[in-house]
Amino acid sequence: MAGPLSHIKVLDMSRVLAAPWAAQNLADLGADVIKIERPVKGDDSRAYAPPFLKDQNGNETKESAYFCAANRGKRSITMNLTKPEGQQLVRELAAQADVLLENYKVGDLARYGLGYEDLAKINPGLIYCSVTGFGQTGPYKDRPGYDFMAQGMGGLMSITGEPDNVPGGGPQRCGVPIIDLTTGMYATIAICAALANRAVTGKGQWIDVALLDTTVAYLANQGQNYLATGVSPERIGNAHPNIVPYQTFNTADGAIILACGNDNLFKKFCEVAGCMEFTTDPKFSTNAARVQNRAEITKLLNAVFAKRTTKDWVKLLDDAGVANGPINNLQQVFEEPQVIARGMKIEMPHAVAGKVTLVASPMRFSGTPIKHEVPPPALGQHTDEILRKSLKKSDAEIAKLKADGVV
């Protein structure tokens, strides 16, 4: 059975990560996604390398791993938007599309007659999603924006990492571009909501999603902690600001994560760990008390965890139903039996490399299962196909578009 969005056509005019991530989500959900790229260079992330994919002989290709991470399920067409003929091709594709995603600087596409108001005249039902660093309004709207900047400006780095007074302390960015990814997820949700609204009203709309807005929204409980108290939260490493114990602890041979999300779980942990005295001590008997006495309980628990290996602790706590886990490197992640059982690593044919190994979508549907059938495309791999089948261009017209540097 086809995916839940198999009836939807999407134009992906974006590059790098945030908006392409949203378009990839839509492709995973079954949408027909056409990615419009610049001739010769394509998406900027095609140059974000090494590493490059290797072909079946072990030789490096020019296909970056980064690009493959956000572009499965898409077909690629090259198009020169500085030429009127290229702009007209976009209009023709937009007339057939349900969704258009773009992350140009504010006003750039409007200069080519490809802004929301321009395309809505051609296709009133079009869902037009703009993803930028700072949004379509406000004093920063014309500034370029990247994930790293948003993590810093939006406060996320101020609460990520160890305190200044410990080795390695200081603000840290997340190990992946989390704001790009989360902005892509918000864009996906917004697009699906707009499609649902269009099913009732028949009308499209313009969606405005920004990296900085996403970062502020993503502060979640930490943002609310500040709004409730007026006190900026401090960095506390791997600990949780509102729950104790909910952090990493050193074991006899490594480290482990313990997540006692309530007092009952803490009691279960103490019972199996042989430290039930903590549960009757007024300083530790409730979560609020443990938060107030964080340093003392953490020191005591470190001594407890030092008595066993990580493997022993994982088994002991799993058997007791206490949330825990090791800290895996990526090799260990893809060797985890659960990750294997859930099919989170897939192989697909690839036009240049022969085959490519990818991370699968984590979404699971009982009635409209996701099928990964289209690998990340080579640059312009589907140009002729799209021009011929979607836009009904003749061989002579396609040849002229190529000769004129339009595609």
Q: What is the pLDDT of residues 242-298, one digit of tens each?
A: 999 999 999 999 999 999 999 999 999 999 999 999 999 999 999 999 999 999 999
Q: Give the CATH number of domain 9-218+340-403; options: 3.40.50.10540, 3.40.50.2300, 2.40.50.140, 3.40.50.10600.
A: 3.40.50.10540
Q: How far is CA 176 from the centre of its chain?
A: 9
Q: Tell me which H or E stretch contains 296.
A: helix 294-305
pLDDT at residue 159, as a whole number: 96
* H, E, C per residue of 196-230: HHHHHHCCCEEEEEEHHHHHHHHCHHHHHHHHHHC
Other Cβ atoms within 10 Å of 38 Cβ, number: 18
Active site residues: 180
- Please tell me the CATH code under which domain 246-328 is placed: 3.30.1540.10
DSSP 136-186: SSSTTTTS---HHHHHHHTTTGGGSS--TTSTT-S----SS-HHHHHHHHH
Token duo for residue 60:
């490096």
pLDDT at residue 1, as a whole number: 65
CA 190, 195, 199 angle in degrees (round to 5)?
A: 145
| Domains 9-218+340-403 and 246-328 in one fold | no
Q: What parts of the chain have a pLDDT lower than 50?
A: none
CB–CB of 171/161 below 8 Å?
Answer: yes
CB–CB of 60/52 below 8 Å?
Answer: yes
Judged on CB neighbours under 10 Å (0-12, 13-18, 19+), 92 is: middle
CB–CB of 239/163 below 8 Å?
Answer: no
In the chain, where the domains are located: 9-218+340-403, 246-328
Residue type, 315: K
pLDDT at residue 2, as a whole number: 84
pLDDT at residue 205, as a whole number: 98
pLDDT at residue 166, as a whole number: 87
